[in-house]
Amino acid sequence: MAETSPPGELQHDIAGFKYPLPNLARCLKQRNTKIVALGSSSTAGAGAIVPYPSYLELMLRAEFGNQMMDGFGKRMINVINRGVGGEEATTQLPRMKSDVIDEAPALVIWQVGTNAVYRNTEFVFEEVVTAIEDGLERLAKIPADVILMDSQYTTAVVEKPEKKELSDKMVKRISELAEAAGVDVFSRYALMEHWLKTIPMREFIDPADRDVLHLSDWATRNVTEALFNQIKKMVRAAGFT
C-alpha cells in the first residue's frame, strides 16, 4: 500500500458539510452518545478490512471522549454498525425503525447508492431514489442529525462507461435529496475521484477483492478521516466546546 497521504488541499471543497450537527453536539456534552451507521458492505465490512464505523468510533473517542464526567468517568461514544452486505435503500428501509430509529441516535450516517449501480439488474434505480427520499422523511421526525454517504469510487462502479454514467447519476440524485432534506452529504465518490489524480486506483481497492468493489484498508482509513474531520468541524460549528 502507498505510504503517501491523499491530497488534502481541496477536501473541504469536495466533501465539506453544509449544515452543523446540533443534535450530536448537544449529546456529546452528556454521558452517552450513540451514532448509527446504516448501509451495505462498505458499512458492514467486507473481507478482512476493518469497516469505517470502527475507525470512526476510535477517532471520535480520541477527540471527544477524554473529558471526565462528574461521577461517571469518561464520556461514552459508540458507533453502532447496522450495515448489511448487498443491501440498498429499498431493502434497508424496512429495518430503519428497528435498526436505527429505535436506537435513538444523535447522528445517523446512511450509506447508499453503490448497489443500485453495481447490482443494477437487481435494484430499480428510481425505486432506490424513492426509498432514500422516504427514509429521509422518516429520519426527519426524530431528533437526530443525518449524513448521507454516497458511493465509493472503485473499478466495479466506474470502469465501464454505462456504470460510470449510472454512478454519476446516482451521486447527483443523492446530493439533490440531501439538499432538499436539509442534511449533509459526504461525497466519498467525488473525494476519491479527486485522489485518483495522484494516487493509482489499485490503492483504493482491497487486494483480496476479486470484484474490485470494496475499499482497501488504506482507502477506508483515509475516507474515514475525511468524514471525521467534517463531523468534528460541524460539531464545533453547532456550539460544542
Q: What is the DSSP letter of 102?
A: G
pLDDT band at 31 (very low <50, low <70, confident <90, very high): confident
Domain total in the chain: 1
CATH number of residue 76's parent domain: 3.40.50.1110
At 132, list the grid cell: 432514500
Tell me: pLDDT of 241 over 70. Answer: no
- Inside any domain, residue 83: yes
- Inside any domain, residue 117: yes
- Inside any domain, residue 111: yes
Letter string b/e over residues 94-112, b meaning 16 or more CB atoms within 10 A of that residue's CB: eebeebbbebebbbbbbbb
Report residue 147 CA to chain centroid gap. 7
- Inside any domain, residue 125: yes
3-state helix, strand, coil in the chain (%, to 5): 50, 15, 35
Give the model confidence (pLDDT) of 46-86 as tens digits.
Answer: 989 999 999 999 999 999 987 655 555 678 999 999 999 99
Give the model confidence (pLDDT) of 136-187 as tens digits.
Answer: 999 999 999 999 999 999 999 999 999 999 999 999 999 999 999 999 999 9
- Inside any domain, residue 212: yes
Q: How far apart are CA 105 and CA 182, in angstroms?
A: 18
